[in-house]
Structure 1
Amino acid sequence: MIEDDLDELLDDASDSQTSHSRRHTGRGRGSHSRRRHGAASKLIAILVIVAAILCGGIYGAGKVIGRISSGESAVDYAGPGDGSVIVQIQAGSTARDIARVLAFAEVVRTPAAFVNAAAADERSRSIQPGFYKLKQHVRAVDALASLLDVKSHTLFRLTIAEGMTTRQVLTALADRTGQPLSAFEEIVKNPGELQLPSYAAGIEGYLYPSTYDLRPGASGAATIKSFVDKFKAETAGLGIEGGAAALGRSPQDIVTVASIIEREVKNPDEGPKVARVIYNRLADTSGRFRRLDLDSTTRYALDEYEGPLTQSQLAANNPYNTRKVPGLPPGAISNPGKWALESALHPAAGPWMYFVSLPKSNVTVFATTDREWQDALARYRAEGGT
């Protein structure tokens, strides 16, 4: 670490000054002046090093460390390399930290060779933490190029986008890892070891949208559990259980409503109003709005997300068809992000009973009366909606 190298220099300077203080009694003024000048020079040198470190990223750090370790051999490999190895770059690594990892894995021959390569290329400041698949026995400049190549990094990186379904997540995970989709499907069918929240009705809704560094060799269950752990960590401060109670709903209801919001609208500022439409319909006592009448829930049950739904699809008998079944579906229909969960927890105030998202304008129109709803439908059809 940079701090370790700097502390050693500071300790040396401190020892020198302490020794000088002990030897000063009985010495002449000339000797004292020369020693004071030497200590000042060393202090100036240390301050220069500190300034350089504070100004650097990987580039600055590597450059400073290279100078501190000027006696270290910078022997490099000469060939194009052979074999391969997986290495992990930790968050906050300096050029020297990375160099040590690469040298230990026999990617580069010496740490100093990589430090010099990083110091000569300012792009080294953009090296990201994570896992990389690299050739062994390569030139340091080639190792640096591989670390900067997106392909060597994204092999072990998976992004769960907001609104993805569990099936979509597992399919992407199978593609990324090369493991069979069926193996992941078996894990989520019996999710005991995933440690879902106690209120969860199933895995859907609890694979938190984020970008993950996949750990090579980890079991499928451990990988999926990391997505669930992320959900629990990121939502700990939202107060899902208390917020649900305040709305007269269960925590699972909140996740389900948030998952619908994710599939129905694109604009975060519309989320609280969509939540209000859902809650208004669920609380209706007139008998006019016994059902939510949402296409998104039917699409989830049919795993059909492109094109218009047919009349037979809209009439399908399944618990997710909210055109036929009153109330909320039995579980979430996607994995919602934080904004959708917050929308479900904090619905806007308003009397709306309808909403429709316009296909070209990319905005959502809200309506209270039948007349407003017919006007909204006319706008939807005018933009090509069916």
Structure 2
Amino acid sequence: MTEYGRGPGSEPWHPEDPLYGDQGWGGEQPAHGQSQYGGQQQPYAQDPYAQQQGPYQQDPYQQQQQPHDPYAQQQQQDPYAQQQAQYQQQQGYGGQQDPYAQQPPYNGGWDTGQQAAMPYEGQPVAAYGYGETNDYYGTPEAYPPPQPPGRREAAPAPDRAPDPEPNPDWDPEAQPEETHPFFTGVDEDGRKGGKDDDYDEDDDSRESRRGDGGGERRGKGKKKKGRSGCACLVVSLVLVGGLGGVGYVGYSFYKDKFGAAPDYAGSGSGSVEVEIPKGAYGYDIGNILKKAGVVKSVDAFVSAQNENPKGKSIQAGVYLLHSEMSASEAVKMMVDPKSQNLLVIPEGTRNSVVYAMVDKRLSLTKGTTESVAKSKKSDLGLPDWASKSKDIKDPLEGFLYPAAYPVTKETKPETLLKKMVSRSNEEYDKLDLAGAAKKHNLNGPWEMLTAASLVQAEGKTHDDFRKMAEVIYNRLKPTNTETNQYLQFDSSFNYLNKQSKINITLEEIRKNKDPYNTYTRQGLTPGPIGNPGNEALAAALNPTKDGWIYFVATDGERKTEFAKTYKEFLKLKEKFDALD
């Protein structure tokens, strides 16, 4: 195989091969033998290959390629070869043939069917640079020079108007921008601006005169007002409105979650009576105060309650507050007992004292509440186990439970009494009065309540209550030979006489034979002598078991001492008598 021969194996590139070297497609590097100055060709006089090749009859390509060239038949049918052969005859070249005539044309890679650097078959020698030749690409009849793949365009149809001049700034790599007729102002028929009020009949007539080819240039004349301006305005208004709504919602959410709650300033004015029911807590109390016009918002009150160390101690009751006061001032007043409009019933208070307190609080005539209690006793909710004995001084005694009760200006005595009886039933239901009575040999819950009222009246401290309960149960025993089942309590005699005395003469006691006089009557009093509290009730249910049977208030007031025998009792009595 020669240097430029073509054999069955890989073959070297001929220097005149279009792909020889880096010829690229920037349009700057021409193929071998071509000029880079447009249509002007340089002669091949300085071509080194022209000197080396010698006579064309000795070209090795001609000898080797004829028997093996598969493109021989294609070259004979090449229309370009026939056209160039005719052109050679017209120019007077006669039968002179190109030694490369047998070489097949090379496809330059652009799919144009043209050889990049090699001439067509049958082209005269002058085309190779050995004589003058015309620029076949410069005549109107010739085919245009090949273009790179990115710039190729289809040839215009014969019956079609030529396309406009190409844009020199056109970038083949740039992607076309997608548009929509709504924003570009182009309607479905291709008319810019749509069918608006600025429709120009002259433009329409000019388009009709252009024929079919004028549709592509339609709309390049006078600019018309289209829907684009209105569309942009509508979209802008929608966006502004949407942003405004989102902003408002965000601002409201921020204020609700992170901003300060609405609140009044100062301590307010006027007087507002507010009742807080049992079981009400932060938000419940805040809602009540807001409805009454005391605070401006529930959140402000809850926040102030959490900030105040005593805020959680607000209890049920009636409070005298001010109108439109700050939440912090409202909480401060509510934790102060002085601001609470409550009727407080102390433990052990007799019913006669309770009635007088209600009359005073409600500005009623003295005796009004006691009269209501007697006339409506069956309507106040007493339990079934309450005694109906004719010896009972007051059927409601022991059922006006000691606690704090809210009172307003509109409260009625009957309503307040019902609340007290209801509260006592609630507390007594928590205790097993019947079981405790059986345990201590008493006749049911009624006697158990009566014993608790005596414990409350005679005892002074918590420790006294349990010892006092044991004294009662020991003296009531049938086997008691010390007192023979007489309780001998001064408290019962004082209850009978609606008094509170310590020094009671023996003569005074013996003259009174009333069932409530425990000096002259054995056993318990017919009914409770007061309203026992929680501690007295607990002590009555669980007394001591030390054998106490006597007691004496040795200081005359608060100090109570207990004894197990009568001898010890006499010593304690001497201490008491020494006070005189």
- The structure, 1 or 2, with the larger RCO (C-alpha pairs under 8 Å, 6+ apart) is 1
Over the matched positions of the two proteins, sequence identity in percent amounts to 29
* Structure 1 CA distance for aligned equivalents of residues 462 and 306 of structure 2: 44
Pair 1:159-2:354 in alignment: no
* Structure 2 CA distance for aligned equivalents of residues 242 and 101 of structure 1: 42
Distance 1:199 1:359, change over 3 A: farther
User: What SS does structure 2 have at the residue aligned with 1:217?
Assistant: coil
Distance 1:273 1:119, change over 3 A: closer
2:494 is matched with which residue? 299
Pair 1:211-2:401 in alignment: no
Pair 1:168-2:361 in alignment: no
Q: Match for 2:379: what amino acid?
A: E
Check conservation: 2:470, 2:545, Cα contact below 8 A. yes
Distance 1:332 1:70, change over 3 A: same
Distance 1:112 1:365, change over 3 A: closer
Q: Choose from 374, 380, 388 the match for 1:189.
A: 374
2:553 is matched with which residue? 357
User: What SS does structure 1 have at the residue aligned with 2:431?
Assistant: coil
Pair 1:228-2:421 in alignment: yes
Q: Which has the larger radius of gyration?
A: 2
Give per-residue Cα distances to partners, 1:163-221, cap 9 Å, x unaligned. 11111222222222323342211232241112222222321122222223336634322
Give the 5 Å matches for 1:1-386.
68=257, 70=259, 74=262, 76=264, 81-82=269-270, 84-89=271-276, 91-94=279-282, 98=285, 100-108=287-295, 110-111=296-297, 114=300, 118=304, 122=308, 125=311, 128-129=314-315, 130-137=317-324, 146-147=333-334, 150-153=337-340, 155=341, 157-190=342-375, 191-201=377-387, 202-214=395-407, 217-250=410-443, 251-285=445-479, 286=481, 289-306=484-501, 308-311=503-506, 313-317=508-512, 318-359=514-555, 362-382=558-578, 384=579
Q: Match for 1:176: what amino acid?
A: R
Q: Match for 2:293: what amino acid?
A: E
* Structure 1 CA distance for aligned equivalents of residues 374 and 538 of structure 2: 28
How far 1:104 moved relative to its partner?
3.0
Check conservation: 1:298, 1:320, Cα contact below 8 A. yes
How far 1:307 moved relative to its partner?
5.1
Give per-residue Cα distances to partners, 1:83-131, cap 9 Å, x unaligned. x43223455543x6555544433345x4289559938974683672432
* Structure 1 CA distance for aligned equivalents of residues 458 and 451 of structure 2: 10
How far 1:300 moved relative to its partner?
0.9
TM-score (norm 2): 0.47
* Structure 1 CA distance for aligned equivalents of residues 575 and 267 of structure 2: 66
Distance 1:136 1:249, change over 3 A: same
Residue segments in structure 2 that go unaligned for 5+ positions in a row = 1-253, 388-394
Q: Match for 1:87: what amino acid?
A: V
Q: Match for 2:471: what amino acid?
A: V
Distance 1:69 1:220, change over 3 A: farther
Distance 1:66 1:304, change over 3 A: farther
RMSD: 3.5
TM-score (norm 1): 0.68
User: What SS does structure 1 have at the residue aligned with 2:476?
Assistant: helix
Q: Match for 2:430: what amino acid?
A: G
Give per-residue Cα distances to partners, 1:5-35, cap 9 Å, x unaligned. xxxxxxxxxxxxxxxxxxxxxxxxxxxxxxx
Check conservation: 2:290, 2:298, Cα contact below 8 A. no
Check conservation: 2:458, 2:491, Cα contact below 8 A. yes
Check conservation: 2:355, 2:367, Cα contact below 8 A. no
Check conservation: 2:502, 2:556, Cα contact below 8 A. no
How far 1:69 moved relative to its partner?
6.7
* Structure 2 CA distance for aligned equivalents of residues 332 and 79 of structure 1: 46
Distance 1:368 1:223, change over 3 A: same
Distance 1:124 1:325, change over 3 A: closer
1:32 is matched with which residue? none
User: What SS does structure 1 have at the residue aligned with 2:273?
Assistant: strand
Q: Match for 2:269: what amino acid?
A: G
Distance 1:227 1:374, change over 3 A: same
Q: Match for 1:170: what amino acid?
A: Y
Check conservation: 2:346, 2:403, Cα contact below 8 A. yes
* Structure 2 CA distance for aligned equivalents of residues 230 and 120 of structure 1: 30
Q: Could you say which structure has the higher helix fraction?
A: 1
